[in-house]
Structure 1
Amino acid sequence: MTVTLMWEARAAQGRGADLLAWARAQPLVPGPERRETFVAPGDRVLVITWWPAGPGAQDPAELPDPPAELLHRPVHRWRFTRVPD
């Protein structure tokens, strides 16, 4: 089984590159099976991570909130569990 975490933030005016750099520099310990970073119009940054789930699996490490001066609004977070086909 897999758990997928989505972390999305909108940067303060003119701070999109700074928010992206901050998000990319954040270590996740232990590391996820997979991690991808995306950008979207409006200076939004999205990080998606995939983690093993089930008996014996550790809780996924989540990205923290960035410094307030980088944000236009609070971070949004979602957690999904994969549904077998």
Structure 2
Amino acid sequence: MSTTAAMWEARAADGRGAELSAWVRETALPALRGRAGLLRAELFAAPGERVLLITWWSGEPVPVAEPPAALLGRPVHRWSFTSEHVE
């Protein structure tokens, strides 16, 4: 069985990084919990008010919802990767 990592990355509007992180924790993650195939989810913050959510799936990833536009400094970026090697 292959594992797919889905990466969701957004840059918050100026001064709204904490709000964007809270939106992911309170809205996006609860919407993913219990979905078939979700193995794990991890939320990161980075300089420049960037927020990164990585989810691991057995099968096709479920897309993360769009946050409110007012929280965003630019459109969300999304990538999916298939695991090829784990040590």
TM-score by length of 2: 0.85
Please tell me whether residue 3 in structure 1 is matched to residue 4 in structure 2: yes
**Residue 56 (structure 1) aligns with:** none
Matched, 1:77 2:78: yes
1:84, distance to aligned residue in structure 2 (A)? 3.5
Match of 1:44 among 35, 44, 50: 50
- For residues 6-52 of structure 1, what are the alpha-carbon distances to aligned partners after superposition, in whole Å with 9 as ceiling and x for unaligned? 00000000100100000112221506100000000000000000000
Between structures 1 and 2, the one with greater helix share: 2
In structure 2, distance between residues paired with 1:75 and 1:50: 18
Whole-angstrom CA distance in 1 between matches of 2:70 and 2:82: 32
CA distance, structure 2, for counterparts of residue 37 and residue 80 of structure 1: 17
Helix, strand or coil for the counterpart of 1:42?
coil
Deviation at 1:65, TM superposition (A): 1.2
What CA distance in whole angstroms lies between the structure 2 residues aligned with 1:8 and 1:84?
A: 23
Percent same amino acid at aligned positions? 55
Over residues 29-81 of structure 1, what are the superposed CA-to-partner deviations in whole Å (9 max), with x where a residue is unaligned? 5061000000000000000000003xxxxx32111111100000000000000
TM-score, with structure 1 as normaliser: 0.87
Distance 1:36 1:84 in 2: 20
Name stretches of at least 5 consecutive residues in structure 2 with no aligned partner: none
Unaligned runs of 5+ in 1: 54-58
